[in-house]
Structure 1
Amino acid sequence: MSATADTRPSPRASLPARIRDLSVNQIAEIADLAREDPEVIKLWIGEGDLPTPPFVTEAAEAAMRAGQTRYTYSQGLPRLRQALADYHARHWGVAVAPDRFAVTAGGMNAIMQAIQAVIEPGEEVIIPGPHWPNLAAVVRVCGGVPVTVNLRRAADGAFSLNLADIEAAITPRTRMVAINSPSNPTGWVMPKGEMLALRDLLRARDLWLLSDEVYNHFTYGNSIAPSFLEITEPTDKLLVTNTFSKNWAMTGWRAGWIVVPEGMGETFASLCQYNTTSIPTFIQYACIAALDQGDDFIRTMVARCRESRRIFSEGLAALPGIRVQAPEGSFYLMFSQDGVTDSRALAIRLLREAKVGLAPGTAFSDEDDGKIRLCFAISPGLAEQAMARLAAFFRRG
């Protein structure tokens, strides 16, 4: 029997365009070039270098040994949702009912569920940029359309959001505005006055607000960043997403949460059920320990970041041709080199020649102005080593 050519389209070609056309995450693309290289100082991905604190891992181990390895409430253990309510009351002075919390498989899944709950195919989500690429990708996966409104930048490099730019981007198809403050990758922190103005605008236009508040503790003034929960009512169209990853060095545990409007707990219990059934029960006991015992650990994390931020901000600013602005919040900074417009090429050179792994600005924006993102959630000692390598690289030219 003679073989005949298979003329059928490839399986990939039959996928929906929103899935088929997903772009490669450029942060992961650069990281994959040297994940296993022990000589590289890895500052590309947003995680600290501290291990998960023992009181968290011990709580998980104790829960496993006690048999907490079976299915549980889709929305999260009642005790964990109460601990989340207590945490928000302690840090922001807000009373959030435990049934307004849903426990998710990390902050990524919290954002996925927020978009799943609200966005119909073809509807638009306005996102200030540069922004974390996963947010826009989730909108696309759910059939929505991400619309970037660029942050403005002052002569000194400071970022700001002009509310008129947001208002101008609203169309009949707009359904949601998504805010990440403190911001990844820019370190921008939204002032409370601007939060109030945005709240009023969205109320007037009957639009949803997604507030990703993952980095609220990572600010470098005298207080933590404000939460939209402080200035809204339980019935507002507000979804707040967060994660255990950053505050308590739990990136690999895949645990997060979402705060939903009053009366929507059952909706998100169903979304949790159909996304993940629930996150592992023993991990939820670890999360309770993080919330109840972890405030001192957060302070330690922020103090280390503050010093490493100083090392990089001052060290980069001292180099000729390097433009950098110390970020207000988060644990990232963006910098650029005069005359460089290809951030991906620069990131690859830094990886290969300086042995410092950084993320290209094109991971966060369609415009390539040569910016590079650096994660400084590391020990000051390691920051000094990385800064010395960067200084040697840029002085060589």
Structure 2
Amino acid sequence: MHNSLGIRPLVADMPESQIREVANAGIGIEGVLPFWFGESDMPTAPEVTAAATAALARGETFYSHNLGLPELRQAIASYASALHGPIGADRIAVTSSGVSALMIANQLLLEAGDEVVAITPVWPNLVWQPRLLGARVREVSLSPAADGWQLDLDELLAAITPDTRLLILSSPNNPTGWTLTRDEQQRILDHCRGTGTWILADEVYERLYYVQGATAAPSFLDISHADDRLIAVQSFSKSFLMTGWRLGWLVVPPALLRQAGVVIEYNTSCAPVFVQRAGIAAIEASATVAPLVAHFRQCRDTLVQALAPLPGVEVVPADGGMYVLLRLAGHTDALALAKQLVVEAKLGLAPGSAFGTDGEGWLRWCFASKELARLEEGAARLRTFLER
């Protein structure tokens, strides 16, 4: 039954972004340090911007193939192959952002009433996209521990049955930084092969992985076959500092590629050509990713070291992503606390409750900062708030 507005009840009742709610509370307050959004304050590399500018100057403002420019798809395939072993361009679909890639994957696989299992807390799009399509989402929770967030693998595998159409997971995870181990991935893949369950792997943070000697976080692409029921989602946003460009890609089984193009047609038709040119330039300059990861590791360590001595502050370490989760003793309402910090400390953090009930009581701090001093100043403001 539709409501008085004539829209679907599910849509009418969808929660607004609590991160935006906190950010809006900070508008007009001079000097707020914003760490609420999942992006760095570092701009896109000049050579990437120059490639887009040159494409615009050439008049490349027309439609392209639904699946993306052939040269970008080949560049992505080569980039992914260097990380994960042979992946052909016949598995690559270019999308207008990573979030669009996720929605297209859901649209490829789900019908109303299908069962989905998701690991939480997680970026809310991963559980709300299937709900928008009428799927039923069952959540399996991570647990905080002294050495990082943990997954009860037996609980997850028990939740995935032959009735489960799709498993959705984010690793490295937003907001916790939790990352699947290779053994966990193999057990999940083997189990889902047995139940016939598809895996939708959000791996957009795979390069932001801080284990010494690792080039990327463990990926399902490392251990799967091309025809496995697996779709991996990637984005240019995080590792290439291109959040505002809105460019991503899917890695799908070759048999799904044609239909992926059809679904893209009915969503966005194609990604803008000049943005795709920027994507090619970003991959050509991908050697810059390793120094960026080294800097982000320093950012993480700087922030954790600044927060750890603060009284009543609990910080759970993470091996991946660009976030630190923390909670303050005596504070259980994350949204109220985040709003209070904006006003009283001029410190902008995201409430953990934005990522589901599992995140309640926690705050997410994006540490992807150009200047380490900016993180230290934020920690100093939190110390002053706690001392008051």
Q: TM-score, normalised by structure 1?
A: 0.93
**The residue matched to 2:26 in structure 1 has which SS?**
coil
Task: Verify the 8 A CA contact 1:341 1:369 in the aligned structure 2.
Answer: yes
The answer for the alignment partner of 2:150 in structure 1 is: 160
Q: Within 2, Cα distance between the matches of 1:50 and 1:97?
A: 32
Shift of 1:368: 6.0
The answer for the alignment partner of 2:73 in structure 1 is: 81
Task: Verify the 8 A CA contact 1:103 1:255 in the aligned structure 2.
Answer: yes
Residue type at the aligned position of 2:74: Q
**The residue matched to 1:74 in structure 2 has which SS?**
coil
The answer for the alignment partner of 1:242 in structure 2 is: 234
Residue type at the aligned position of 1:241: V
The answer for the alignment partner of 2:273 in structure 1 is: 281
1:52-201 matched pairs, under 5 angstroms: 52-92=44-84, 94-154=85-145, 156=146, 158-171=148-161, 173-201=163-191
Shift of 1:172: 5.6
Shift of 1:373: 0.7
Q: 1:221 to 1:368 in 2, by over 3 A?
A: closer
Deviations 1:135-158 (A, max 9, x none): 11111111112211001333x152
Q: Within 2, Cα distance between the matches of 1:299 and 1:383?
A: 21
Residue type at the aligned position of 1:390: L
Deviations 1:79-138 (A, max 9, x none): 00000011112223x111102111111110000001111011011221111111111111
Task: Verify the 8 A CA contact 2:313 2:327 in the aligned structure 1.
Answer: yes
Of all paired residues, the percent bearing the same amino acid is 40
The answer for the alignment partner of 2:194 in structure 1 is: 204
Task: Verify the 8 A CA contact 2:96 2:246 in the aligned structure 1.
Answer: yes
Is 1:215 the equivalent of 2:205? yes
The answer for the alignment partner of 1:231 in structure 2 is: 223
Task: Verify the 8 A CA contact 1:122 1:173 in the aligned structure 2.
Answer: no
Deviations 1:203-249 (A, max 9, x none): 00000000000111111112120111110000000000011111111
Is 1:321 the equivalent of 2:321? no
Q: TM-score, normalised by structure 2?
A: 0.95
Task: Verify the 8 A CA contact 2:162 2:195 in the aligned structure 1.
Answer: no
Residue type at the aligned position of 2:177: G
Q: Within 1, Cα distance between the matches of 2:126 and 2:217?
A: 21
Deviations 1:336-357 (A, max 9, x none): 1122111111111111111111
Superposed CA RMSD: 1.5
Task: Verify the 8 A CA contact 2:121 2:176 in the aligned structure 1.
Answer: yes
Task: Verify the 8 A CA contact 2:141 2:358 in the aligned structure 1.
Answer: no
Is 1:19 the equivalent of 2:2? no
Shift of 1:367: 4.4
Residue type at the aligned position of 2:267: N
Q: Within 1, Cα distance between the matches of 2:281 and 2:14?
A: 37
Q: Within 1, Cα distance between the matches of 2:284 and 2:29?
A: 37
**The residue matched to 1:339 in structure 2 has which SS?**
coil
Q: Could you tell me which of 244, 255, 259 is aligned with 2:247?
A: 255
Residue type at the aligned position of 1:308: C
Larger mean CA deviation between 71-80 and 367-376 belongs to 367-376
Q: Within 1, Cα distance between the matches of 2:358 and 2:271?
A: 37
Task: Verify the 8 A CA contact 1:18 1:143 in the aligned structure 2.
Answer: no
Residue type at the aligned position of 2:53: E
Task: Verify the 8 A CA contact 2:315 2:327 in the aligned structure 1.
Answer: yes
Is 1:309 the equivalent of 2:300? yes
Q: Within 1, Cα distance between the matches of 2:226 and 2:283?
A: 22
Deviations 1:321-340 (A, max 9, x none): 11112211101111111221
Is 1:345 the equivalent of 2:300? no
Q: Within 2, Cα distance between the matches of 1:115 and 1:290?
A: 27
Shift of 1:38: 4.6
- Work out which of the two has the higher radius of gyration on C-alpha atoms and give 1 or 2: 1
Q: 1:271 to 1:90 in 2, by over 3 A?
A: same
Q: Would you say how many aligned residue pairs link Structure 1 and Structure 2?
A: 384
Residue type at the aligned position of 1:17: P
The answer for the alignment partner of 1:5 in structure 2 is: none
The answer for the alignment partner of 1:31 in structure 2 is: 23
